[in-house]
Amino acid sequence: MNTDKYATVIWKNVKLNVGKNIVEIRTSDGNDTAEWTVKI
């Protein structure tokens, strides 16, 4: 997805998996990651 004029990228209403989610952002200027766990 393209970055907007203000260095921001937004994904709205993303569905996560119940349980573990390894979330990764990959760009040409580096990557970042998180581990989120969903318990419903």
Partner 1 sequence: MITSELNDIAHQLDPSRMTVCANNVEGSFNFITDAMAFNKYFGWYYNKVEDFGPFYDNLHAKYPNTKFGLSEYGAGASITQHVSQFVPEEDPRPSSRGPWHPEEKQTAYHISHIKMIAERDYIWGTFVWNMFDFGSKGRNEGDTPNINDKGLVTYDRKIRKDAFYLYKANWNKKEKTTHLCSKDYTDRKEDVTDIIAFTTAPSASLFINGKQIGK
| Least Å from the CB of residue 19 to partner 1 | 9
CB of 2 to partner 1, least distance (A): 5
- Residue with the two structure tokens 């040409």: 28
- Residues that contact partner 1, how many (by CB under 8 A): 38
Helix (H) or strand (E) holding 22: strand 19-27
Classify residue 3 by its DSSP letter.
Answer: -
Place of tokens 């349980």: 19
Residues 9-38 that bind partner 1 (CB under 8 A): 9-18, 20-38
Provide the token pair at 17: 């998996």
Chain residues binding partner 1 by CB under 8 A are 1-3, 5-18, 20-40
